[in-house]
Structure 1
């Protein structure tokens, strides 16, 4: 896999691909219609677990997830980059936190909008219930459709930072997060530390550099059409950079960001990091 690809070229590929299996799976689940999401890497397959990953109850979330949500809430307004079906937007709305969601998937955005509208309709008396559909936007995280200096925090989980594909691409993302946040900006991001992974990790691709690896797979969504015929939608191959916390600190060099904290369970490969603008 070429390592000279920048975040901009990856963004261009996303614009050129019309397939949206993950978003369609979220929308189908939200509307209670049948379908099956599958992660594929060659002959290997994994269940997409749409209900568990994108519609889970906050009672099932781990402490690190809640800590990250609370940390950005303290610096509201929050921009949830890659908001998916809106689970975190709903959590913030229940607590009166000002938040806007952005996702590259039109179908995921539609699902999030419908869920937020249902919540708004059922809770007319609360301030959070007055949020409108314009608070969930379709957009690319390399070119966010929001004004400069509009947010106090960005929340970017689901290892989406790795879609930068390289440390240079991650740095390019951080430049865009710099643009949309104010001088006291905070960011919560996550990734997998390859020093704690082995080649059995789904989609794993090694790299000779310490603390660097890659992950590749694509998604497929299959469902029956109204006339009972199966229909399969196949997405493009996704390429993620996996980097250790030390490598993440290397990526923030020459940006206004500093890695101020890393949290993860004992021996866990997955971690969350809190970044703060240091000027």
Structure 2
């Protein structure tokens, strides 16, 4: 399967990246900032770290762990399992020192983990939107409830389509339903074109609605700094 995204990040890590990783929607093209997004070291005094530390405990499941930035930080504090769907990213994490980096699909958690396996979950990078529909989002939350303990916490993130800044993102698509939107794009690297990605964007209120009947409730919403409020982290707790 073509994986320009994972391969470009792996090549950057190895010092072998000679061409940019491109993010495209039709004629609109952005260069994806690999170093900024995936290789900045998380530190205790970094913005957002204190918030995460107050909500996460081990065993932790890091979903869509990328190059392992967060897993590298939290594995020194408690057991951390990093999950990625890309062979290239799993290899990158292992080379960088992630203790438990595994190949797997975050939307097929029951296939990889047993009941009550984790005390907390982190999914940072808006990959939650790859659920693609609200029905699939509810199914994911049900699976997440299955693999987490009764008192578990999950920290998830997305873009809020009720903010104008979200509508300016590459690939944004309007949905007339309040609190909902889409994002469509693909990655390209060294002429290798990846699959088209469809993200479901939803506001915190829509996420709260999706939690009903899944075993989760929305406990807190933490928005980005000024000019970045359209990106939010949602804290879910078990009911």
TM-score (norm: length of structure 2): 0.92
Partner of 1:122: none
Partner of 2:101: 136
Paired residue for 2:72, among 77, 86, 90? Answer: 90
Deviations 1:89-133 (A, max 9, x none): 111133x2210000001100100011016xxxxxxxxxxxxx4xx
Partner of 1:14: none
- 1:273 is aligned to 2:238: no
Determine helix, strand or coil for the equivalent of 1:140.
coil
Shift of 1:61: 8.5
Partner of 1:76: 58
Q: 1:61 to 1:176 in 2, by over 3 A?
A: farther
Q: Alignment length, in residue pairs?
A: 233
Partner of 2:20: 36
Q: 1:273 to 1:158 in 2, by over 3 A?
A: same
Alpha-carbon RMSD across the aligned residues, in angstroms, is: 1.7
Shift of 1:68: 4.7
Give 1 or 2: higher helix fraction: 1
Paired with 1:26 and 1:68, the residues of 2 have a C-alpha distance of 27
Paired with 2:155 and 2:72, the residues of 1 have a C-alpha distance of 18
Shift of 1:266: 4.4
Paired with 2:213 and 2:127, the residues of 1 have a C-alpha distance of 21
Higher Rg: 1
- 1:263 is aligned to 2:222: yes
Partner of 1:162: 129
Determine helix, strand or coil for the equivalent of 2:192.
strand
Alpha-carbon contact 2:23-2:186 (below 8 Å) kept: yes
Determine helix, strand or coil for the equivalent of 1:46.
strand
Partner of 1:240: 199
Paired with 2:96 and 2:45, the residues of 1 have a C-alpha distance of 19
The gaps in structure 1 that reach 5 residues or longer are 1-17, 118-130, 223-231
Paired with 2:206 and 2:170, the residues of 1 have a C-alpha distance of 21
- 1:150 is aligned to 2:117: yes
Paired with 2:45 and 2:234, the residues of 1 have a C-alpha distance of 17
TM-score (norm: length of structure 1): 0.79
Shift of 1:44: 0.4
Partner of 1:106: 87
Deviations 1:24-83 (A, max 9, x none): 01110111102320100000001111111111122599623x14531343x311000101
